[in-house]
Amino acid sequence: MINYTEITIVFILLSVLLSLSSSRLMTLVKLMALQGGAVSLVPLLLEGTQHLPMGELLFFQVMILIKCIIIPGLLVLAVKRVRIKREIEPFIGYHASIVAGLVILLVSVFVTGYLKLSLPEGHNFVLVSAITTMAAGFFLMMARRKAITQVIGYLMLENGIYLIGTALTNPSHTLYVVEFGVLLDLLVGVMIMGIILHNINSAFDDADTTLLGRLKD
């Protein structure tokens, strides 16, 4: 029998490692679409689809729509508008980033083992990938200069936190009004970041965050 949860988690981990190594922004956005889709599938696979009422299925569809299509779509628009194809001269190089990603993965396996939480079967791997995704998102935000890569880092961080939420908490707490609120915040957040990004690009002729250094004490 094929364990679909583990396959999905492998996809998430691969997308994390690949995004740390890729310099092309379009590739990064595609990886985010893959990751967003995989992340929204995990709770569905963990719970099992046969017990789900209609309303919940509908919610997961909306979630996949937002995380896998709308947000990456917005990012594609942003990348096309700012007309930058790749990240040049990151603070931390790509090879070093992959090594850092692997170290993060090892540390999260260790941390998950150390916590000794009595999690249900299969949730341990979710926790490992959640911590890895979160930490890698942080890493991406700090290691890259372009504003758009920082937005992608933020999305990864948010994906990781969502995974922790699904791995750790009991699904009986889930209120779909609240979950939808979280999702809406994320969507509007990315839209606003995209608008500011576009304005940074037209004001400074580049979407490089190192140019933002006018306000100081």
Partner 1 sequence: MIEFVFLLPIIMGLIILALPPSVGRLLLLITSLMHLQLTVMTWLGKFTPAFAQLFKATPEGLYILLITSFIFFCISVYAFAYVNETDITNKPAFNGCMLLFLGTMSMVTLSDHPIMLWVAVEATTLVSAPLIFIHRSKEALEATWKYVIICSVGIALALLGCFFMTLSLDLTNIRVPLSYTSLYKVASSLDPIWLKTGFIFVIIGFGTKMGLAPMHTWLPDAHSQAPSPASSLLSGALLNCAFLGIYKMHILMVAAGLGQFSSNLLIGFGLFSMFVGAIFIINQPDYKRMLAYSSIKNMGIIAFGVGIGGFALYGAFLHILHHSLIKSSLFLSAGNILLGFNTKKVKKIGGMIKYLPKTFVSFIAGFVAISGLPPFGMFLSEVVIIIGAIQSGKYLAVTMFMLAVLIVFAGIGKACLSMSFGDEVEKLQTKERMLRVIPPYVLLAASVIITIWMPQPVYNTIINSIQIIGGKIHG
**Which residues here bind partner 1, judged by CB under 8 A?**
117-118, 134, 141, 147, 150, 154, 157-158, 161, 164-165, 168-170, 172-173, 175, 177-178, 181-182, 184-185, 188-189, 192-193, 196, 199-200, 203-204, 209, 212-215, 217
Token digits of residue 176: 């779909």
Token digits of residue 97: 């980033």
Q: Between 17 and 193, name the residue whose CB sits nearer to partner 1.
A: 193
Least CB distance to partner 1 at residue 51 (A): 18
- Identify the sign of the CA torsion 145, 15, 41, 131: negative
Token digits of residue 117: 């939480």
Least CB distance to partner 1 at residue 148 (A): 12
Least CB distance to partner 1 at residue 95 (A): 26
Token digits of residue 156: 């990864």
Token digits of residue 33: 């679409």
Least CB distance to partner 1 at residue 66 (A): 15
Q: Between 1 and 175, name the residue whose CB sits nearer to partner 1.
A: 175
DSSP-assigned letters across all residues of 149-217? HHHHHHHHHHHHHHHHHHHHS-GGG--HHHHHHHHHHHHHHHHHHHHHHHHHHHHHSS-BGGG------
Q: Between 81 and 98, name the residue whose CB sits nearer to partner 1.
A: 81
Q: Between 102 and 188, name the residue whose CB sits nearer to partner 1.
A: 188
Least CB distance to partner 1 at residue 140 (A): 12
- Identify the sign of the CA torsion 92, 97, 103, 108: positive
Q: Between 98 and 180, name the residue whose CB sits nearer to partner 1.
A: 180
